[in-house]
Amino acid sequence: MTTVDGRHEIDREAERLAYKPPEVRHDKQGDMGSEERINKAMHHFVKNFNSQTASYLDGCLHCGMCADACHFHVRTDDPRYTPIWKIELFKRTYKRQVGPFAFFYRLFGLKRQVTIEDLEEWQHLLYDSCTVCGRCSLVCPMGIDIAGLVSMARHGMFKAGLIPHELHEVAKRAAETGSPLGITPDKFEDRLEWMADEHDVEIPLNVEQADVLAVMSSIEIQKYPESMAATAKILNAAGESWTFRTDGFEATNFGMLSGNPEWQKEATMKLIDAAIKIGAKLVVLPECGHAYMAMRWMGANMYGKPLPFKVMHISEYMADALNTGKIKVKKLDKSLTYHDPCQVSRRGGATQAARDVIKHLGVDFREMEFGGDYNWCCGGGGGVVTITRADPLRHRVFKLKMDQVEATEADELVSSCANCRQSFDDSQQHFGWDYTMGSLMEMVAENLEERKS
């Protein structure tokens, strides 16, 4: 008779019935003792505390409803993926060290001190199984922004050298070379030239004075280079005085995703400096969700004062240009559904922009059930797509997205985030799925009507 090892659950979703391998990888960076890691994790979590986060940590009712909003929990039924549980260690430390009744908690030993083993386990919960998509923040009856707390907990984890190696490597490369994929200014220039030739489009680079600074994400430069040509076509068609710059082109921010505020600030300041140098009135961000969060909502705070220019996501720019007649597009005869990037729509507030653009395209728009602000995340945001050990979990979670898309029966699927697109492409390959994720911006660029000058 076979004895079943009950410690490891059977993975019924796998192509072949299999035991789920135990999660044993606990990555560590740097040379620190356990005590030092614990102290650093907690110190850097607590460091940026304000009354907002304190009320959040104090306010949780343990109702567990956030579990029902989280794709990782919904798809696995693993209670550890309950969003508020992901910050449990930090909640505990807050109550022990900082909260209004910290003295009592310590005096009576009411909250157990966090151990290194705890933190190692939480690495999986804070990185592999959270895309910071913020869906949980919308279900919480207390209105706690759990996703925001996860980002803060990541600050602590980064400083303690307790983040997944892959994400650390990518973030480090971004800090050292200016791009998470190692795109140097020369390479960027090469690829721009290639796209300019290929599409016969003028792509201004390093113009000294321009009204608009356009920036890109490395994922686009490397994997979806057509995005560069599409950006150029749209900005040219709108008659903008604009430019790309080799001294400030990378919009992704892996400092933010990995949890290192210093790297986050460096990346943000590069773009701000470039924009100020050319006297830009507007910075147009690429199809990238977290780039929008990093610059539109956090950029000025990194700068320490209001930005001397406006910041727009490309979908907002296109919506504005179409609404004001700066650009025009041909009507398309097909049905289309749209995947909302969490950081642009749900957390960024630009949900309507893509819909305005889609309206101008004249397609039969099929909104996903509970799309828009309540959209299921692609599963790859928040840096998760870079963490290869999380792939099986990410694919499993993606099933929700597949169902949501398929239910629309739309001819085509587009989004406005290269990171989502990458995550879709990977899962498409994994599942042999019919839908290919497209780019809303490329769709607009391909269907621009000639300007009558």
Partner 1 sequence: MDLLEFARGPALQVAAYILVAGTIWRLVGIILLKEKPEFSEPRARGGLGAALKVIYTRSFTADPFKPATLYPKILAYVMHIGLFMVVFLFVPHIMFFEGFLGFDWPGLPNSIIFFGGVAAIVSGFALLVRRLTHPVLRLISNFDDYFSWFITMLPLATGLLIPVRLGVRYETLLAIHIITVAALLIWLPFGKLGHTFLVFVTRGTTGMVFERRGAKT
Question: Where does this chain bind partner 1 (CB under 8 A)?
Answer: 48-52, 54-56, 58-65, 67-69, 73, 77, 79-80, 82, 84-85, 88, 99-101, 104, 110, 137-145, 296-301, 303-307, 310-311, 345-351, 370, 373-374
- 3-state SS class at 8: coil
Work out how close the CB of 355 gets to partner 1 at its nearest, in angstroms, rounded to a whole number.
14
Q: In the beta sheet, which residues pair with residue 365? A: 336
Nearer to partner 1, 194 or 370 (CB): 370
Work out how close the CB of 364 gets to partner 1 at its nearest, in angstroms, rounded to a whole number.
23
Q: Report the DSSP pairing between strands 282-285 and 212-214.
A: parallel
Nearer to partner 1, 342 or 443 (CB): 342
Work out how close the CB of 47 gets to partner 1 at its nearest, in angstroms, rounded to a whole number.
11
Work out how close the CB of 347 gets to partner 1 at its nearest, in angstroms, rounded to a whole number.
6
Nearer to partner 1, 182 or 261 (CB): 261
Work out how close the CB of 322 gets to partner 1 at its nearest, in angstroms, rounded to a whole number.
19
How remote is the C-alpha of 108 from its chain's centroid?
Answer: 41
- 3-state SS class at 248: coil
For helices 418-431 and 391-406, the axis angle rounded to 10 degrees is 90
For residue 125, give the DSSP letter. Answer: I
- CB atoms < 10 A from the CB of 119, how many? 22
Nearer to partner 1, 78 or 226 (CB): 78
Amino acid, res. 416: S
Scan for tokens 């919960």, then name that residue.
125
Q: Looking at beta carbons, which pairs linking 139-146 to residues 24 or more positions away fall under 8 Å?
A: 139/65, 139/66, 139/68, 139/69, 140/65, 140/66, 141/61, 141/63, 141/65, 142/59, 142/60, 142/61, 144/56, 144/59, 144/60, 144/84, 145/56, 146/56, 146/66, 146/83, 146/84, 146/86, 146/87
Work out how close the CB of 65 gets to partner 1 at its nearest, in angstroms, rounded to a whole number.
5
Nearer to partner 1, 369 or 449 (CB): 369
Nearer to partner 1, 297 or 433 (CB): 297
Nearer to partner 1, 140 or 444 (CB): 140
Residues 351/340, Cβ–Cβ less than 8 Å: yes
Work out how close the CB of 296 gets to partner 1 at its nearest, in angstroms, rounded to a whole number.
7
Nearest to 102 by CA among 112, 89, 93: 93
Scan for tokens 């930005």, then name that residue.
307
372 sits in the region (left: phi over 0; alpha: psi -120 to 50; else beta) called left
Nearer to partner 1, 209 or 352 (CB): 352
C-alpha to C-alpha distances, 358 to 11, 201, 244, 332, 416, nearest whole angstrom: 40, 24, 26, 10, 12
Nearer to partner 1, 244 or 292 (CB): 292
Work out how close the CB of 13 gets to partner 1 at its nearest, in angstroms, rounded to a whole number.
19
Work out how close the CB of 393 gets to partner 1 at its nearest, in angstroms, rounded to a whole number.
18
